[in-house]
Amino acid sequence: MEYRVSAPEVLREPLVVPDKLLMGPGPSNAHPRVLEAMSRPILGHLHPETLKIMDDIKAGMRYLFQTNNAATFCLSASGHGGMEATLCNLLEDGDVVLIGHTGHWGDRAADMASRYGADVHMVRASSGSALTLAEIKRALETHRPSVLFLTQGDSSTGVLQGLEGVGALCRAHDCLLIVDTVASLGGAPFHMDRWEIDAVYTGSQKVLGAPPGITPISFNHRAVERYKRRQTKVKVYYWDMALVGDYWGCFGRPRIYHHTISSTLLYGLREAIALACAESIPSIIARHQDCAKRLYDGLLGMGLELYAQEQDRLATVTTIRVPQGVDWLQVSQYAMKTYLVEISGGLGPTAGQVFRIGLMGQNATSERVDRVLQVFRDAIKSVKPDFAFRRNASKM
């Protein structure tokens, strides 16, 4: 039979992948050991060596989440999959969910939850700020949700949401607490068990510096109990915690094929987690916070203004107000074109209003902070030659 659609010429050309410095809100640059691991041969999804790597990842993620939860595993999807899976497993039609809004990720969670048939309510922080415990308490009392969703680090605003005390509040209101730590884990303390957080997920491609496409997640016993008491099946087979958890050997039952996991991504994630465990959580957090401080000093020294309030700043993603008369897109494009350095614009509620500079994983070093400051300064100067940098900026 005749083939009507012919093979595209473009695929005769070689693959082109430049080596950039990824100082946006993620992905970050991966460690050479992570990249090397991903060229290893493919393994089957139930081979003992694959299961061993999955077990290593579970153990490492329990450390990084600070949890003893049996139901700690990964989803074969981007970080969005973590948001989908926590909401999909813990909500049924008509359930009330309260979303703490500190930026774009609250909007995204609200969209997903409403698609799953939940009754969605929002509690909004003021611009550039986190929610206070009092605001959360009041909203819990008003809406009586069965699930509260919070984003620890909202990468669109650079706001860090405090979590201490929220778990206890949720228990008092018979409410489960889901926390998105995609952009924050490793950049701020996180204690899943001590803080009584019921479900969490993170991003592989942020502080961990693994490839995107595989998403660590953990559910505690309260979340598993809620799942067991569901009146209806979870709407999505692919996110069903019992099925994925059985494949990951989380519930003491035989491993059952659920989907074909990407051995390549497992290798990369395993090596990234091994590097993080070797460095230790306190060192990683201190490194990110020291670098963030250095970045703030540099930016403020240039006369720029930060978007997030000082007490609510996320170390991993810094949001900088776009100065009047500066075209953010031109600045970003100049940095990329001239230096292969990524400096991002805003997202969702901050689109057009801020620049975003990420300090994550391999990129959280004083050298890279200085590099991105120099590139940023040069890019602004190039786009707006008369931009009035503060006098003391020359000290940099």
Reading the block at residue 109, the tokens are: 């969670």
> Considering only residues 71, 73, 76, 177, which one is a binding residue for a copy of itself as defined by CB under 8 A?
76
> Considering only residues 54, 73, 84, 302, which one is a binding residue for a copy of itself as defined by CB under 8 A?
84
79-90 vs 104-115: helix axis angle to the nearest 10?
50
342 binds a copy of itself (CB under 8 A): yes
Is 115 annotated among the ligand-binding residues?
no
User: Which of 81/301 has CB closer to a copy of itself?
Assistant: 81
Size of interface with a copy of itself, in residues (CB under 8 A) = 101
- For residues 86 to 115, the per-residue mask of contacts with a copy of itself, x marking binding by CB under 8 A and - elsewhere, is --x-------------------x--xx-xx
Q: Applying CB under 8 A, which part among 55-63, 245-253, 286-294, 385-393 lies near a copy of itself?
A: 55-63
d(CA 272, CA 270): 5
Q: Applying CB under 8 A, which part among 133-141, 187-195, 294-302, 371-379 lies near a copy of itself?
A: 187-195
We find the least distance from the C-beta atom of residue 129 to a copy of itself, in angstroms, to be 23
Strands 317-321 and 354-358: antiparallel
Subset of residues 235 to 274 that bind a copy of itself, contact rule: CB under 8 A:
235-238, 257-265, 267-268, 270-271, 273-274
Q: Applying CB under 8 A, which part among 191-199, 223-231, 317-325, 371-379 lies near a copy of itself?
A: 191-199
Task: For 159-258, list the strands marked E by DSSP.
Answer: 159-160, 176-180, 199-201, 215-219
155 binds a copy of itself (CB under 8 A): no
Reading the block at residue 339, the tokens are: 């230096």
Rounded to 5 degrees, φ, ψ at 342 are: -90, 125
> Considering only residues 86, 89, 101, 116, which one is a binding residue for a copy of itself as defined by CB under 8 A?
116
